[in-house]
Structure 1
């Protein structure tokens, strides 16, 4: 993996850039009333369980994670995902959307190592999107720099357990399907996180964009014909110390609160 190389951004610049993003998000159209009611009916995410749906993302958390660290992961991911999707909504903008997501994750406090965004090469005539996501995230974890083998194994194990648990969580799966599918295909992310003894957070992310002429009723846990779908992917591993997040946290929380209908978090699984 290679470090995400941008110009060094000062604290003041980070605040200014996120403020600019917030102004952009606030100027977008308000969600329809039916969507607002659907969001209001979701149970409150209390950061108590070991997995969550975050917009079009699936997140898994190791038992090491504090409630505070889970919330940091959720807030930064949902913020970056929301802004990137609003800025680059078209299927043809998939690479720009991924690059913007990575830029925003860095602005929110993550130090990231990333694999290039590219077309996914399937090894068989049939595939399932859940297996594609797990293959990508396992690859990202395997290429991680500066992490011990125990930590890498934990990230992979958490990802596997989270995807397996999702099969038995119909409400979480329904929310994910609604958020990830688009007319021409769809996009989603799979992530896995752990916290070390010093409070640092490590996050592995696999981003998947697919284009298909015929949209199945489900995205995950069903077979796709390789010839009928184009898949693109990006992957990254990231690390954060909470101090890097604190200076921009009020801005991120404010934006997510105002855009609650667009940035939904639904926890599932067992207590970590």
Structure 2
């Protein structure tokens, strides 16, 4: 596709991809008078480099508070894990970041937030789009297209000062086969979504995120007491599979992914009989579940 100008004059150039309705999103999601729900602001911009970078900057300079949501119709420098680039045509997906300041939760448990967000995204999309989704550890959203597993979304969490964390989400919604960045990518449309209207999809995901974040925060970040650990494991496509973990320092291990431990790490049982927890790295699924 040829790049489109993001000015207001061209916002309706692709009628299959209408713009988000920012006022309606704010009415549906933003807490009334500072009371009630988590979300305090929903800001929709036409184009930016990275919603994560922008929201981290706002948090650090004090212009954003907990519950701020920043959504972009187009990201020109979207980032995934390991500094991978994330690109998609304008208005073809949901690209947003949220600012969280977990209260009463030890920083040692903040590593659960990307996994919590994955559970929320999968829950919201299942309800609103009718798409069966699965989670690849630690932060990829998988859908099934033509009987094969494909990545349709990803999550990236970044610290924003001492007391805040920004979690970014990218979801391919209407990408067609000829628009996919790589053959292993997918989209909700290709997976047979009952709707690709991004407004109800975003509302569903943010409501699910608010619900799960509240449960986790009230439990002091305890993944077992909040039900997060069990729910994540139930929806994790990585468990029960033969995997290869490509680790920092050019090291890799192979074995069966057998559990997600209390720290959110993937536990791999190797042929040598060792159970090794992996907290960072790239996971390759070697065979179907």
Structure 1 and Structure 2 fold alike (TM over 0.5)? no
Higher share of residues assigned helix: 1
Give TM-score scaled by structure 1 length.
Answer: 0.30
Give TM-score scaled by structure 2 length.
Answer: 0.29
- The structure whose Rg is larger is 2
Q: Which has the higher contact order (CA 8 A, sep 6+)?
A: 1
